[in-house]
C-alpha cells in the first residue's frame, strides 16, 4: 500500500544496492545504476541497451521509477560524508559482483572465461559485443560498459555447489 501511494505521488524509486549507496553518499542525490547492474534485474533489454518497456510492463513497473542507467566507468558521481570532513571522492567505476569478478580476473577479451567456486559455482565468459543466440541456456548480460561500448558476458551457475561437497563428504 505504501509503495503504491509513493508511486502515485511520484516519490517511488526502484533501484539496486548501488543505486541506494550512490544516492545516500552523493550530496547531489543522483539516482543511477550502471549497465552491468541494470542488466541483472531482468528489466534490461540487451538489444536496445536500456530498460525494457515489455519487461517493465509484465512486472508492472513504471520506467520512470527506475534508476537512470549510466556506463560502468567514467565520472559517475561525487561522494561525500560528514565523517570524511571536507574530503570528497570521485566515483569512477561501479560494477555488480559477477561482472566485477570477470573484470578483476583479467577476462577482458571475447572468449576469455573464468570459474568462481564457493557456495555456488559460476562460469562466466566474456562474449564481447555479440549477443548470444536466444536459445542458449546461459544467462547473458552486460559485463561492463565504458562510454557507449558495452561488453557482454554469458553466465552459467550451480547455486548449491558448496552443499554438494558437504553432501559428498557425508555419503
Question: Above 80 in pLDDT, residue 100?
Answer: yes
Q: How confident is the model at residue 166 (pLDDT cuts 50, 70, 90)?
A: confident
pTM: predicted TM-score of the whole model, two decimal places: 0.87
Question: Above 90 in pLDDT, residue 146?
Answer: yes
> Quick one: pLDDT at residue 167?
80
What letter would DSSP give residue 118? S
> Quick one: pLDDT at residue 121?
86
Check: CB of residue 107 under 8 Å from CB of residue 91.
no
Check: CB of residue 94 under 8 Å from CB of residue 60.
no
> Quick one: pLDDT at residue 45?
95
Amino acid at each position: 500500500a505504501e509503495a503504491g501511494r509513493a508511486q502515485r505521488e511520484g516519490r517511488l524509486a526502484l533501484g539496486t544496492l548501488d543505486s541506494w549507496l550512490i544516492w545516500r553518499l552523493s550530496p547531489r542525490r543522483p539516482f543511477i545504476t550502471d549497465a552491468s547492474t541494470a542488466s541483472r534485474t531482468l528489466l534490461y533489454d540487451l538489444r536496445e541497451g536500456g530498460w525494457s518497456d515489455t519487461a517493465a510492463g509484465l512486472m508492472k513497473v513504471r520506467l520512470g521509477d527506475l534508476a537512470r542507467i549510466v556506463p560502468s566507468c567514467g565520472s559517475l558521481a561525487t561522494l561525500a560524508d560528514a565523517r570524511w570532513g571536507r574530503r570528497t571522492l570521485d566515483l569512477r567505476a561501479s560494477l555488480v559482483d559477477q561482472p566485477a569478478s570477470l573484470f578483476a580476473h583479467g577476462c577482458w577479451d571475447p572468449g576469455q572465461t573464468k570459474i568462481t567456486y564457493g557456495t555456488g559455482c559460476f562460469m562466466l565468459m566474456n562474449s564481447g559485443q555479440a549477443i548470444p543466440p536466444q536459445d542458449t541456456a546461459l544467462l547473458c548480460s552486460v559485463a561492463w560498459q565504458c562510454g557507449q561500448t558495452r561488453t557482454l558476458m554469458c553466465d552459467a551457475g550451480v547455486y548449491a555447489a558448496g552443499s554438494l561437497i558437504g553432501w559428498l563428504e557425508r555419503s
